[in-house]
């Protein structure tokens, strides 16, 4: 058996480098409400409908400001609180089922929110520094297991478009 020794001192090792320039801009999604955040629909008959649009008897505009980057605004509703039986959101009034709709224009075209905790797009593009007006329409249940005041949760969120 023969052994060989190799010296690395006779070899050259070469390396090349390159650079990459990366840029990033942080997105700031931030909204605020300048309206008071409450809507008093009052006492409604079963199956009755009322709205907060400017032509209604409850002219109450909910105003949300976009304090950050361009955003998509969405809205959702859910099960009511108050009393022992919750009313749930739905697409048609029923027993303990209400329908909440919204519009963002004074030329009213209502969009119903449907089921609990399902977000619907209120506006696909709200530019930074602008606001979105939201008007609401409530259709009361066709029947109710109790007749006490209910609180309807309404959530508006902003997200990256």
Reported as a single tens digit per residue, the pLDDT across 26-42 is 778 888 888 888 899 99
CB-based contact 148:81 (threshold 8 Å): no
CB under 8 Å to 82, separation ≥6 — which residues? 148, 149, 150, 151
Mean pLDDT computed over 117-137:
94
Reported as a single tens digit per residue, the pLDDT across 42-76 is 999 999 999 998 888 888 889 999 998 999 999 99
User: Rounded distance, CA 122 to CA 103, Å?
Assistant: 7
Reported as a single tens digit per residue, the pLDDT across 90-121 is 999 999 999 999 999 878 899 999 999 999 99
Cα 136 to Cα 60, 76, 106, 130: the distances in Å are 9, 12, 11, 20
Q: Residue-wise over 55-83: b if at least 16 C-beta within 10 A, else e? A: eeeeebebebbbebbbbbbbbbbbbbeeb
Give this prediction's pTM: 0.81
DSSP of 82-102, one letter per residue? Answer: SSSS--EE-SS-BBTEEEEEE
């Amino acid at each position: 058996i023969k052994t060989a020794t190799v010296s690395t001192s006779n070899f050259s090792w070469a390396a090349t480098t390159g650079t990459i320039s990366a840029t990033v801009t942080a997105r700031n999604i931030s909204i605020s409400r300048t309206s008071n955040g409450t809507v008093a629909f009052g006492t409604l008959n079963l199956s009755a409908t009322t709205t907060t649009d400017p032509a209604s008897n409850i002219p109450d505009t909910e105003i949300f400001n976009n304090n950050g980057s361009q955003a998509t605004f969405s809205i959702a509703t859910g099960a009511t609180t108050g009393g022992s039986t919750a009313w749930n959101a739905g697409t048609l009034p029923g027993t303990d089922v209400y329908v909440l709709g919204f519009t963002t224009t004074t030329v009213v075209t209502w969009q119903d929110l449907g089921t609990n905790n399902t977000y619907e797009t209120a506006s696909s593009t709200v530019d930074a520094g602008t606001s979105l007006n939201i008007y609401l329409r409530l259709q009361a249940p066709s029947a109710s297991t109790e007749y006490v005041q209910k609180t309807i949760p309404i959530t508006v969120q902003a997200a990256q478009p």
